[in-house]
Copies of this chain bind each other. A is one copy, B any other.
Amino acid sequence: MDLALIEKAANAIADKHRLSIIMEVVKKGKLICGDVCEFTCLSQPTVSHHVKILVDSGVLHSSKNGRIVELTLNKEMMKQLSMFFLQLS
């Protein structure tokens, strides 16, 4: 297991707002960036910043559909994280 990957994913998760974005994606199945602005009450640039960290780390998956960016959970990453911590437990 690549520790740099774990570190980056952990960093993405280690933020109140980003964790709430993750949980909302889990709840809704998918989100668009505009939705994130609404329920977090953060500005659009701030949301863009957080979404970038989540996507770059591999925690979320993004797909552009016209001018709309759709965010979904990267379940493969969740599986890898689960396995990593399972091995340590």
Contact = CB atoms under 8 A, between A and B. Distances in A.
Interface of A: 3, 6-7, 10-11, 13-16, 19-20, 22-23, 26, 73, 75-76, 78-79, 81-86, 88-89
Q: How many protomers of this protein does the assembly include?
A: 2
A86 to B, nearest CB: 4
Contacts of A16: 7
B85 A89 contact: no
A89 B77 CA distance: 8
Candidate in A75, A81, A85 with the most chain B CB atoms within 10 angstroms: A85
Nearest to A78: B89
A7 B3 contact: no
A16 B76 CA distance: 23
